[in-house]
Amino acid sequence: MAHIGAVAITLLIAGCSTQSTNEQDPGDSAAVVSLTRVPRHIDKSDRPHVTFDPCLDVPDTALIEAGYDPSSEENADFTPDEYTFLGCSYDTPRRLYGLNVLSGNISFAEEQEKSRAYATHIDVNGRRALLKVEADQPDACAISIETSYGVLIVDRSVFKGTGAPAPESEWCAGLEDTARIFERYIPKEG
């Protein structure tokens, strides 16, 4: 019995005095493990990395809530050397709408300048955003949301199937609701 008690005490002391393999020595910089996922694409610019990937970070439940079919997902990345846009495209179940969700590292200021002739400032869940409607681009509407790394663009097209454009009142109908759903998944700054 004394032998069992001594073994138990030895194991207890050994367990308390050794570091678990999950713990890190604060002075050992090589032991620091990053929990941040490496982006699918990193451009050659000095712009921030795109840390929110709509293809990976917008769950199917959010797509369904917004009325889109997760199984219709297609890659929509645009990755030149100067900047990055990671994105996916989706359709509604009966293909009334097509949606591109693009996460890019161009600045919100650049997006404002590029679209100043046709954008209106709005708010999406407390973030600065732009509602973008171009009269010469029928059946299309987009919202650009400011992020810590750049912008998230929710860009939708209307498919009427008649060959004639949809009424202008339908171009953006419900898109702000969709943007509010997706914004919930963008990491908050600070």
How far is Cα 43 from Cα 55, in angstroms, rounded to an integer?
18
* Assigned domain for 38 exists: no
**CA torsion through residues 145, 146, 152, 157, sign:** positive
In terms of residue numbers, what domain contains 134?
A: 54-183
Helical ranges in 26-115 per DSSP H: 54-57, 60-66, 108-115
> 15 in a domain, yes or no?
no
- CATH number of the domain to which 65 belongs: 3.40.1000
**Domain-located, residue 63:** yes
- Name which of 32, 88, 27, 91 is nearest 64 in CA terms: 91
One-letter amino acid of 26 = P
C-beta separation of 171 from 157 below 8 A: no
Whether residue 27 is contained in a domain is answered as no
pLDDT tens-digit profile, the chain (190 residues): 444 333 333 333 333 333 333 344 444 444 444 456 778 888 899 999 999 999 999 999 999 999 999 999 999 999 889 999 999 999 998 878 999 999 999 999 999 999 999 999 999 999 999 999 998 999 999 999 999 999 999 999 998 777 788 888 999 999 999 999 999 999 987 4
Residue 18 lies in a domain: no
Is 3 among the domain residues?
Answer: no
Q: What is the pLDDT of residue 105?
A: 96
Domain count across the chain: 1
Closest CA to 43 of 105, 98, 102, 95: 105
In a domain, 119, yes or no: yes
Does the residue 99 lie in any domain? yes
> According to the model, what pLDDT value does residue 68 have?
96
Q: Which of 173, 16, 185, 148 is nearest to 96 (CA)?
A: 173
